[in-house]
Amino acid sequence: MEFLNLFLTFIFIFLLFFYAFRNNKSSVPTNWPFVGMLLALLKNLHRIHDFCIELTEGPNLSFLLKGPWYTSMELLITSDPRDIHHILSKNFSNYPKGAKFNEIFDVLGDGIFNADGELWKYHRRMAQTFVGQPQFHQLLIEKIYVRVENGLIPVLNHASKQGLVLDLQDLFERFTFDNICSLTMGYELGSLCVDLPSIPFSKALDDIEEVIFYRHVIPVSVWKFIRWLGVGKERKYKKAWETLDKFIYNCIANKHETMKQLESINPNDDEQNIGVDLLTLYKDKDDKFLRDTVLNFFIAGRDTTSTSLSWFFYLLSKNPQVHSKIREELISTMNANEDNNCNMNKWYDFTRNNFKETSDKLVYLHGALCEALRLYPPVVFQGKIPVEPDILPSGHKVEPHMQIIFNLYAMGRTKSIWGEDCCEFKPERWISPQGKIRHEPSYKFLAFNAGPRTCVGKDMAFIQMKVVAATIILNYEFQPLEGQSIVPENSIILRMKNGFKVKMSKISLLSYG
């Protein structure tokens, strides 16, 4: 009887939903009897990111969206930096992820994204141990450059020579996925090669992130009912979960076998390979714990960086003057270091050994990356539920049942924070009059929250982005295909729905010397 009532409710809601779609004009949500504001939410689902901007562009930067009365669904959508800082810092202990979050993100298991309390502290400590080892930073740079030379450049050269169309988003996902596979499991996947093989794991990860997004915007009882039926997006979610598990558990089994072989050769050299990859660091944990940890690192290491790079190059295509300034900065830095000899091999050799020194000189490139992260934050939103009632700095009172959604996409486009030009791509806003990266609290806070906040470290993301950006800008021109629709996908990661398709042409650095 309970499921029958739920089914009838489900049919009723969607009949109203289709009725609402007779008029596509957006409006302030109406709080209807029984169904609350759910109709407005579903009606605008295809443009959810712009809809959230409209909801939060008032003076208090927040909007309370109420769902059907019987679901206790209340979403406080906020782009107010004061509230976000309060929740993430000042009163952090009152805002754990909680059981509802764990249900929505159940595929992540006991990984760091799902963890609270002592388990979260353990994951954080282990991640810091992993990235904090002295050899890790140089190892990371070496792996990135090897991936550039053996993967990225051959693919770009092949596409340039053959006049092929490339999807830059797919290319960047392959680059970051290969890197994170190597760093976490010591496994060389080789997805970034000339023939661009199909990678079922990547498709499964995309499907998982899409379904998790929809779980945020429809009542829990509805998506659980769909899961019970085993149809629609929940069926896709289940099949994607199986694909992820098959890949990760196979890698774990192979890693166990490799470690046994090493131990049989050097039984007393227990600490030799602790810095090689994540699975070695967690070698005493059971396979389920390893699976959860690795999957969380995959999401952090693949999606945030590749998505940021995709939007960065899209913005460059729309702002050629920024593209030119970045190229000029790169060439100027290269000439200063290499006696006016613009040779890419020398550039690689120098930056490999002096990456921080070189990176610190690329102020305009850094500002442009920060600006891309502001306009297109890879992690669109984050959710929290208070344990105890609280009053946010904006004046909103929140209760334990209420879900608070930080909308970072809206926060990066708020006029009261960034001014009338908030939607323009202006790297200069990140650069001080002294020519340094700005570190005022508002800028630093937004960069931290809108940027790739991953457990493998923000430094790792910026290193990859700078190396990839420099390689492409110094060696190639790219021309976006006309007529393609570049819009965000409905997902917890702000991927491009249709990718970013371009044609590449190789250039000679000597002509820019």
**Of 74, 66, 64, the residue nearest 100 (C-alpha):** 74
- Specify if 18 maps to a domain: no
- The strand pair at 397-398 and 390-391 is best described as antiparallel
**Of 85, 92, 100, the residue nearest 117 (C-alpha):** 92
Of 107 and 459, the structure prediction assigns the larger pLDDT to 107
Both structure tokens of 302: 């693949």
The average confidence (pLDDT) of the chain is 83
Percentage of the residues of the chain whose pLDDT score is greater than 70: 83
CA distances for 504 relative to 17, 148, 175, 349, 368, angstroms? 44, 16, 17, 25, 21
> How many other C-beta atoms can be found within 10 angstroms of the C-beta atom of residue 62?
21
- Specify if 368 maps to a domain: yes
Both structure tokens of 164: 């092929």
Of 267 and 209, the structure prediction assigns the larger pLDDT to 209
Amino acid of residue 176: T
- Specify if 11 maps to a domain: no
The SS3 call for residue 437 is: strand
**Of 176, 476, 157, 431, the residue nearest 313 (C-alpha):** 476
For position 131, what pLDDT does the model report? 75
Contact (Cβ atoms closer than 8 angstroms) between residue 208 and residue 240: yes
**Of 135, 136, 145, 507, the residue nearest 348 (C-alpha):** 145
For position 411, what pLDDT does the model report? 86
The residue-averaged pLDDT of 202-227 equals 89
Count up the domains in the chain and report the number. Answer: 1
For position 58, what pLDDT does the model report? 72
Dihedral sign for Cα 40, 43, 44, 45, please: positive
- Specify if 365 maps to a domain: yes
pLDDT band at 156 (very low <50, low <70, confident <90, very high): very high
The residue-averaged pLDDT of 477-495 equals 93
- Specify if 10 maps to a domain: no
- Specify if 161 maps to a domain: yes
Please write the tens of the pLDDT for every residue from 385-394.
899 999 999 8
Please write the tens of the pLDDT for every residue from 48-94.
888 888 888 777 788 888 877 767 778 888 888 888 888 888 898 89
pLDDT band at 3 (very low <50, low <70, confident <90, very high): low
CATH number at residue 151: 1.10.630.10
Q: Is the model's pLDDT at 338 over the cut of 70?
A: no
Contact (Cβ atoms closer than 8 angstroms) between residue 414 and residue 81: no
The residue-averaged pLDDT of 271-287 equals 71
Domain containing 488: what range? Answer: 44-512
For position 194, what pLDDT does the model report? 94
Please write the tens of the pLDDT for every residue from 26-45.
457 888 777 788 788 878 88
- Specify if 37 maps to a domain: no
- Specify if 413 maps to a domain: yes
